[in-house]
Homo-oligomer: A and B are copies of this chain.
Amino acid sequence: MTDPFMALLGIEVRSSGRGQARLSARVSPQHLNIHGSCHGGFLYSLADAAFALASNSHGVAAVALSTHMEYFKPVREGEVLEALATEENLGRRTATYRIEIRRDTELVALFTGTVFRKEVDSR
């Protein structure tokens, strides 16, 4: 349920299930950018980890094809963020997920991602 990159960034899994996942992380000094706020790559990586967990929850290996990130609010050191993944569409060979990055109830960034599902017809 966790991997080396999540460990490096301090990302923790709160819950997961079929087509969904909830992860959290605290923004630490090493996650900041040149402006002194949380790096966009850190926010994305938190969303991407939730995306990977949700999309690989059906017993079929899923790999990211295309993703999209919208940044709404700056995030500061010390703040705790949650990533909430839900399934928008589950097809045979592709699937799409929505991941909200929240600070308490506030939506600070929004990720959409589509995977290719690899092993459906492998034999």
Contacts and interface: CB of A to CB of B under 8 A. Distances in A.
A30 B42 CA distance: 15
Contact of A39 (B40, B45, B66, B96): B45
Contacts of A16: none
A4 interface: yes
Interface in A22-52: 29-35, 39-42, 44-46, 48-49, 52
Q: Is chain A's binding surface mostly helix, strand, loop or mixed? A: mixed
Nearest to A5: B39
A116 B74 CA distance: 13
Given A4-B30, A110-B112, A112-B112, A61 B35 contact: yes
22 contacts: A3-B32, A3-B33, A4-B39, A5-B30, A5-B31, A5-B32, A5-B42, A34-B52, A39-B45, A41-B48, A41-B49, A63-B74, A64-B69, A65-B70, A68-B68, A69-B69, A70-B114, A72-B96, A88-B107, A89-B110, A96-B110, A114-B114
